[in-house]
Amino acid sequence: MSKLQVDNIVNKADNGSPTLSKGAIVTGVCTSTSFDGSLNATQLASGTIPDARFPSTLPAIDGSQLTGIDALPSVDLVVSGTLVDGQPVIIKTDGTVAGVASTGTHSTAKEIPTITNPIEIQSGGSTNAQTIYDPSSGKVIFIAKDGNNSQRGTAWVGTVSSTNITVGSATVFSNDGSGGTVEGNMQYEGSATYHSGQQRIIIAYNGSSSQPAYVVAGEVNGNSMTFGNAVSFGGNGANYCKVTYDANADRILIVYKHNAGDLYAVSGSVSGSTITLGSTSQLDSDAVDYIDVLYDPDAQKNVVVFQGASNYFYSRVVTITDPANNTWSSGTKQTVASENIQDKSLAYDTVNDKMVVAYRNASQSSNLYAVVGTNNGTEMTWGTGVVVHNTNAEIPQLLYNPRAKRLLFSYMDRTNSEYGSMVIGQVSGNTVTTSSDPNKYVAYNAVITSPGAMSYAPSVGQVVVPYARWSGGSAFKAVLASMDTFSVVGNMDSENFLGFSNGAYTNGQTAKIQTVGSIDDAQTGLTIGKKHYVQTDGSLSTTAGNPSVLGGTAISATKIVVKG
C-alpha cells in the first residue's frame, strides 16, 4: 500500500477543501477545528459537543404515546380477595393488599343510659303517647290522642337520627264516629304492633263507654301515613285494647276488657290495609284490669298478662289454632304473683328466650318490679318478682334492646315529683338485675310525666322514649336513649392504609394502587375542598372515624388527592 504524507491538502483551484467523492477512511485520530454537515451522534465514541450546538429552549415533548411510565405515584401488589375501582386499600402483613372492609360489630352495654334533651312531637294536650317502629320504612310512628283536635287518635311519622327526631304531618285515624275511613274517639289507652307480613302498622283503640273498640291498619308513605277502614269489635264498652302480631299464624291477636270486667280476645287477618276479624270470645271472667299481650317468637305463642281475682297477677298463653277461621285457644291460667299488681308492660328477651314483665306492685309501696317467665307452649313458668326501683312507680313501660342485650324501664317516679325516669336492667337466669351504680336511675323529664310505649330504632341504635307532659304546658314529647357504645370492627388500623385501587381486580391478580400524591378519579359524592376520612366499612366521610385515617382531599365530586 502506498503512503501519502502531506501537510496541507487543497482543491484544484487552491481555494477550498478537496472533494472526496468516494469517501475517506481514516484510521487513528482525526482532528478538526470545525465541522460542517450531518453527523450521526451514535458514531461518536467520545468527545464533547459544545454548548452552542444546543438551542436555548428545548422543544415540547408529547408524552401521550409513551408507555410503561407511571406519571403519578403508585405500587403494583398482589390482591387478596377482590377490589373495585376506587376502593380504599390496606397493605396486609403478608405483603398483599385488600379492600378496606368491616369484619363485624362490637357493642358494650352501658350501666346508665345517655339521653338527649326532650324533643317535641306535638304541642298541647296530647295523651296516651305510644311509639312503634316500622322496619319497612325505617321510621318510628308516634301515636296519641290529639288534644288540639278533639282527642282524636292521631299518628305522626318520625325520622330518627342519633340526636334528633324530624316529625312529619299528622294523620288522624279516629274521627269520632263520623264515618269516613276510620271511626271512634280514642278516649282510653290503645296499642300498636307491626305486621311484618303486610308491612302495616296495626292500631287497636276504643271509644267512649257507648262505643265499640276499633282496629285499623296504616301504611307509611314518606313522612305521613294512610289508613284503611277501621273495623269495630267488642260492642259498646270494650276498652283497654292491646294488640300483637302472631308471625307464625300471620294473624293479629287483640285482647281487651269489657265494661263488665271480663277479658276477651279476637284474632284477625290483614290484607293490605283491610282487616278481617273473627268472632270475639271470652278469655277470662275475673274482673280483669291492667292488660298486656306480646308474641313469643321462640314458642310461637302469645302471652297475655292481666290483673284478675283479688287484684292478683295472672297470665295465659294463647295459640291461634285455625288461622283460616281466626280461632284461638288458651292454656291454663297461671298465677304470676299473689299481690296487688297494677300497671304492667311486656318485653321479650331474644337472647335468653325469656318473657319479662315490668309492673307496679301496689302491695309493696307501689315499687317498680320485674318478673321473668319461660314459655313451655301452653303455659308460663314464672320466677320471683324483684324490685327494680324502690320508689312509687306508675305507668311502667318496658323495652328489650337487641343490640345492647339489655332492658330499659321507663316510668313515672311519684317519689321524685312524678318525673319521668328510666333505668337499665338485664335478664340473669330467671331474674332481673340492675347496676350497683347509685346514679343508675335517670330522670328524663323534670315535670309530671305519663310515659308511653317505647321503640328501638336499629339504624341509629337509639331507644325512642315517648311521654305526655302533664304540667308546665301539656305536650307530646320524646327523648332518645343510648344503651350501649357501638363500633364497627374492620381490617383497617391507624397505619395500614395504602391508597386507592386503580381498577377492578380479583384474587391473585396484580393491582395498581394509587398512593400518596396520586389522584383517584373513581369516587362519587365527594365534597370539594374537604378532607375525606376512610371509614372502617370502606366508605369515605368528612368526619373522622375510629381509627382516624385520612384518605385525601376532594378536588371534585369524583376525584380525591391521596394523602394517607
CA distance 212 to 225: 24
* Global confidence as pTM: 0.78
Cα–Cα distance between 335 and 158 in angstroms, integer?
39
pLDDT tens for the 564 residues of the chain, in order: 556 666 777 777 777 777 766 766 767 666 666 666 666 656 666 666 666 666 667 666 666 666 666 668 999 999 999 999 999 999 999 999 999 999 888 899 999 999 999 999 988 766 678 999 999 999 999 998 887 887 788 999 999 999 999 999 999 998 654 433 444 555 556 899 999 999 999 999 987 667 788 999 999 999 999 999 999 999 888 888 999 999 999 999 999 998 778 999 999 999 999 999 999 999 998 889 999 999 999 999 999 999 998 899 999 999 999 999 999 999 999 999 999 999 999 999 999 999 999 999 999 999 999 999 999 999 999 999 999 999 999 999 999 999 999 999 999 999 999 999 999 999 999 999 999 999 999 999 888 888 999 999 999 999 999 998 766 557 889 999 999 998 888 999 999 999 999 999 999 999 999 999 999 999 999 999 999 999 999 999 999 988 999 999 999 999 999 996
Give the burial class of 9: count Cβ atoms within 10 A of its Cβ; 0-12 exposed, 13-18 middle, 19 or more buried. exposed
CA 476 to chain centroid: 24
Which grid cell is 112?
346508665
Which residues are CB-neighbours of 482 under 8 A, at least 6 positions away? 110, 113, 114, 115, 162, 461, 462, 463
Cell numbers standing for residue 99: 379492600
Give the helix/strand (H/E) hosting 513.
strand 510-514
Grid coordinates of 201:
302498622
Burial (CB count <10 Å: 0-12, 13-18, 19+), residue 57? exposed
